[in-house]
Amino acid sequence: MNEIQIRINSIIRVLASDLSTADKYKEIAPSFSGMDITHFTEKQKQHVYKYMTTANKIMARYPTIRTGDDYKIITDSDLNKLLKNVQQFCLKLLND
């Protein structure tokens, strides 16, 4: 199993868990941190950039987030958008 599949499997487990929406995103957010994308296809790299752009636009609304507990201040609407963004990103990586 390659690195991407391992990370995505971990995300799927978190999404299927009984954690709160905020805790799910707190667990998922660092999932792709430090991943080497130099071997990705251009299409996969575009998916990475789109995922990061969307997540950064939403998270920019919450400049005071410093710790894991701070994720609780994110609105449910934004948390759902962030989780949907992660799901779409994972599907695109798996399908490309």
Question: What pLDDT is recorded for position 59?
Answer: 95
* Residue 1 in this model has a pLDDT that exceeds 60: no
Report the C-alpha gap between 28 and 21 in whole angstroms: 11
Please state, in angstroms and as integers, the Cα–Cα distance from residue 30 to each residue in 11, 15, 26, 54, following that order.
10, 14, 8, 15
What tokens does 58 get? 């939403």
- Work out the mean pLDDT of the chain and round it to a whole number: 92
How distant is the alpha carbon of residue 92 from its chain centre?
13
Question: What pLDDT is recorded for position 2?
Answer: 85
pTM score: 0.87
Q: What is the mean pLDDT of residues 23-33?
A: 91
* Residue 51 in this model has a pLDDT that exceeds 60: yes
- Give the start-to-end residue ranges of the domains of the chain: 3-31+38-95
